[in-house]
Each structure stands twice: as C-alpha cells, then as structure tokens.
Amino acid sequence: MTMLIYISIMAGVTYLIRMIPFTLFRKKIKSRFIQSVLYYIPYAVLSAMTFPAIFYSTDSTVTAAVGTVIAVILAYFKLPLTVVALAACVASLITGFFI
C-alpha cells in the first residue's frame, strides 16, 4: 500500500509538472532571474545526484571511481549518452576483475 502511494506521488507530480505548462501556458516567463534559475536547475540537479552517489553505485569505490573517470573523459569529448554510460559500466566491470 505504501509502495502504491509512493509510486502515485512520483507519477502524479511528474505528470503535472509536464502537463500544466505545456497545456496552459502560451507566453514566456519574463523574469530574467527565474529564467536563469530554470536554466541552471537541470545541470545542478544532475550534478548533485551524481556526486558523491556515483562512487557508491557499484560494489566497490575503486571500480566506481575508475568508471567515473572514464565517463568524464568520454563525456568531455562529447560522446553520445549511451556510449559514455556503457563505457563507465565496462570500465567498472573490468576493474572489478583485478581487485
């Protein structure tokens, strides 16, 4: 039951966030400050979610750290999302065989 409530909240909030502006708003936000906050939010959220959680995403901080370094290097050279994600995974896996 608790699980159902959790999932309903997740789905409901996420849907409303998408639906309300897309359906109702026809004008653009004028405030430069709010525009700026909205511009930075995605990057800030992803960064806060990734660090330091990525270092605990595998079963060892060593394999996770190696995967992170590989991901950062490949992302720096703007490789596609899937390539970066899979490379991080493979790097962690291979490192795992050596420790």
81 binds other proteins, rule: CB under 8 A: yes
Q: Please answer whether residues 68 and 54 qualify as being in contact, where contact means their C-beta atoms are separated by less than 8 angstroms.
A: yes
Nearest-approach distance from CB 2 to other proteins, in angstroms = 9
> What is the 3-class SS of the chain, one letter each residue?
CHHHHHHHHHHHHHHHHHHHHHHHCCCCCCCHHHHHHHHHHHHHHHHHHHCCHHHHCCCCHHHHHHHHHHHHHHHHCCCCHHHHHHHHHHHHHHHHHHC
Spacing of C-alpha 7 from chain mean position: 19
Nearest-approach distance from CB 50 to other proteins, in angstroms = 5
Nearest-approach distance from CB 30 to other proteins, in angstroms = 9
99 binds other proteins, rule: CB under 8 A: no
**Segment 43-72, which members bind other proteins (CB under 8 A)?**
43-54, 57-60, 63-64, 67-68, 71-72
Nearest-approach distance from CB 9 to other proteins, in angstroms = 5
Per-residue mark of binding to other proteins, 9-48 (x: CB under 8 A): xxx-xxx-xxxxxxx-xx-xx--xxxxxxxxxxxxxxxxx
78 binds other proteins, rule: CB under 8 A: yes
